[in-house]
Homo-oligomer: A and B are copies of this chain.
Amino acid sequence: MLVVLTGIPGSGKTTLAKRALEILKEEEGKSQYEILNYGDIAFEIAKERDNVQNRDEIRKLKLSEQKEIQRLAAKRIANASKDKSVIIDTHCTISTPKGYIPGLPEWVLRELQPDLMIIIEASPEEIVKRRKKDETRERDDEIKSEIKLHQELNRFIAMSYSTLTGAAVKIIKNPEDKIDETARKLAEILKLN
């Protein structure tokens, strides 16, 4: 079973996923899910194929090679998900200076074939607060409106991912003061798979 877990930086998705798996472990003795990070797997593949030393070097490769790395990372994950349930920690879109690029373009989706895509969202206010802990500094109003846009674009593109794969799309709001309740909700959905 293959679950794609997405959410913009500061949405709290990684913390939430860990808690949800703890809840499943408490209930069932062990969690059936393993969390994999799409970027980590892509970096592994890039090291094997192109002998890159760090993630920034991937972006310096030819575009066709970058796409091939993305495709092979998706294939590796799809293979891993045959024996066990896998949660992929990744992004619907990635904000770059040129604009928003798809985290799961067609050539990735064709290999990945996810069963379920979960979008973790939070309010722009809470996301700004969480990012500030990470020492990010920018003009608050502008960044809040960019966060709002980014979360909207992620919803839009998720529906196009769903058209190509048939994957279910679940949007989960993650307010700061209800993390346990939200993790429990996420755990319930993961049990449906």
Contacts and interface: CB of A to CB of B under 8 A. Distances in A.
Interface of A: 67, 93, 96-102, 104-107, 109, 116-118, 149, 152-153, 155-157, 159-171, 189, 192-193
Given A149-B171, A192-B97, A192-B98, A162 B157 contact: yes
Q: How many copies does the complex hold?
A: 3
Given A153-B155, A159-B160, A160-B159, A67 B166 contact: yes
A47 B97 CA distance: 40
Contacts of A105: 162-166
A20 to B, nearest CB: 15
A154 to B, nearest CB: 9
A149 B189 CA distance: 18
A116 B102 contact: no
A31 to B, nearest CB: 18
Contacts of A159: 93, 102, 153, 156-157, 160
B169 A100 contact: yes
A36 to B, nearest CB: 20
The interface centre, meaning the residue of A102, A106, A164, A193 with most chain B CB atoms within 10 A of its CB, is: A102
Minimum-distance CB pairs A-B, first 3: A99-B170, A99-B168, A160-B160
A143 B86 CA distance: 31
A100 B168 CA distance: 5
A71 B82 CA distance: 25
